[in-house]
Chains A and B, each alone.
Chain A
Amino acid sequence: MLRPSVDDHRVVGLYTGKIVSGVGLLMIVPLVTALVFREWDTAIDFGIGLTVCLAVGLGLQALCRTSDELQRRHGLVVVSASWILATALGAIPLYLSGHMGSYLDAVFDVMSGLTTTGLYLMQDLDHVSNGLNMWRFILTFAGGQGIVVIALTFLFKGVGGGLYHLYSGEGKEDRLLPNVVHTARVIWLISLGWLAVGTTALTIGALALGQAPVRAFLHSLWVFMGAFSTGGFAPQSYNTFWYHSLAFEIMCIIIFVAGSLNFAVHWAVWTGERSELRRNVETRSFAVTLGIFTLIAAIGLARSGVYTDALPLVRKTFYLLISGHTTTGFGTVYSRALVTQWGPLAMLAIIGTMVIGASSCSTAGGIKGIRIAIITKAFVQEARRMLGPDSAVVTSRYHHLKNRVLQDATIRSVLLITVAFLTLHAIVTMAGVLAGYPFIEAAFDGVSAASNTGLSCGVVSPSMPGALKAVYVVAMWLGRMEFLAVFALFGWLWSVVRGR
Chain B
Amino acid sequence: MGAGSQRRGARDALPTAEQVLTLTTGLVTEAAFAVGLMAACSIVIVLVLLAGG
Q: Which A residues contact B (CB, under 8 angstroms)?
A: 193-194, 197, 250, 253-254, 257-258, 261, 266, 269-272, 274, 277, 283, 287, 290-291, 294-295, 298-299, 302-303, 310, 313-314, 317-318, 321-322
Contacts and interface: CB of A to CB of B under 8 A. Distances in A.
B22 A302 contact: no
A295 B26 contact: no
A261 B25 CA distance: 16
Contact of A302 (B41, B42, B53): B53
A208 to B, nearest CB: 19
A277 B41 contact: no
A299 B31 CA distance: 28
Contacts of B38: 250, 253, 318, 322
Interface string B17-53: 0000011011101110111011011101110110011
Given A253-B38, A272-B22, A274-B26, A298 B48 contact: yes
A322 B39 CA distance: 12
Interface of B: 22-23, 25-27, 29-31, 33-35, 37-38, 40-42, 44-46, 48-49, 52-53
Q: Give 3 nearest A-B pairs by CB, closest first.
A: A302-B53, A257-B34, A270-B26
Contacts of B53: 298-299, 302-303
Contacts, number: 80
Contacts of A291: 40-41, 44
Contacts of B44: 291, 294-295, 298
A258 B33 CA distance: 9
B45 A294 contact: yes
Given A287-B37, A290-B41, A291-B41, A302 B48 contact: yes
Nearest to B50: A310
Contacts of B48: 295, 298-299, 302
A257 B33 contact: yes
A299 B46 CA distance: 10
A280 to B, nearest CB: 11
A150 B45 CA distance: 41
A276 B21 CA distance: 18
A6 to B, nearest CB: 44
B18 to A, nearest CB: 10
Contacts of A283: 33
Contacts of B41: 290-291, 294, 318, 321-322
Contacts of A302: 48-49, 52-53
B34 A274 contact: no
A258 B31 CA distance: 7
A23 B18 CA distance: 36
B33 A194 contact: no
Contact of B30 (A250, A258, A317): A258
Contact of A258 (B25, B34, B42): B34
A285 to B, nearest CB: 13
A291 B42 CA distance: 10
Nearest to A317: B45
Contacts of A318: 38, 41-42, 45
B34 A310 contact: no
Contact of A257 (B29, B37, B46): B37
Contacts of B49: 298, 302, 310, 313
A257 B26 CA distance: 14
A325 to B, nearest CB: 9
Given A302-B52, A303-B53, A269 B42 contact: no
Given A250-B35, A277-B33, A302-B49, 13 more contacts: A194-B27, A250-B38, A253-B38, A254-B34, A257-B33, A258-B30, A261-B30, A274-B25, A287-B37, A299-B48, A310-B45, A318-B42, A318-B45
